[in-house]
Amino acid sequence: EWRITVIPDQPPVISLLEDISITRQNGLRFKYGATDDYGVVAAAAEITHVTTKNASPEAPLRVEFPTPQANAKNGQLTYADLTAHAWAGQPVRISLIATDAAGQTGRTKMIDLNLPQRPFKNPVARAIIEQRRTVAAKPEKDKHAIQALDALSLYPDKFTPEFPVYLTMRVARHRIEHIHGNDDARTQVVELLWR
């Protein structure tokens, strides 16, 4: 006769060992610990954009971490560079998530911070990035972005002497007119304005 006791599989536990910090290159630095009774198979950061009351919520951004080491006594350390993301410079909420082999997840509480952004010294570059943010987050403000890009391209010899920059800005401006609810087209314009 054998007596068998089934031990239930517990969800993993993940915690920040240090506050999320910003590196000199404007990346995010995460130091965390993750444990599970049978091992953690994946860890990630889930980032949610803090939207205004009337705006529709956006899908969270998931940043996958390298597979956690089983015997990391001092915790796991990983970095993420999100300066090119459309949410850079804006308020976000971050939660770390650990997943075990059974698909169970554990998460940290949400942490509020401003996503670091790349610093732009050129005033035209700053203005283009501002319009990029507007196009990415506020479709109702597309007309304002078009007007701003028109104003920036009025005197190309003064503001945008590099011809490829001028042409890219004009292409982006005209593509904004034809987005009409197409999320893929909006993403393409956001990427074009980054370039």
State which H helix or E strand residue 75 sits in: none
Sequence-ordered list of residues with C-beta below 8 angstroms from that of 27, at least 6 positions apart, any chain: 79, 80, 81, 82, 83, 116
Q: What is the pTM of this model?
A: 0.79
Q: pLDDT tens across 127-156, in order?
A: 899 999 888 877 788 899 999 999 888 888
Q: pLDDT tens across 20-61, in order?
A: 999 999 999 999 999 998 889 999 999 998 875 555 677 899
Q: pLDDT tens across 154-174, in order?
A: 888 777 778 888 888 899 999
**Neighbour count for residue 45 (Cβ, 10 Å):** 23
- C-alpha pair distances (Å), 91 with each of 115, 139, 186: 6, 18, 21
State which H helix or E strand residue 101 sits in: none
Q: Give the CB-side neighbour count of residue 182, counting CA atoms within 13 A.
A: 10
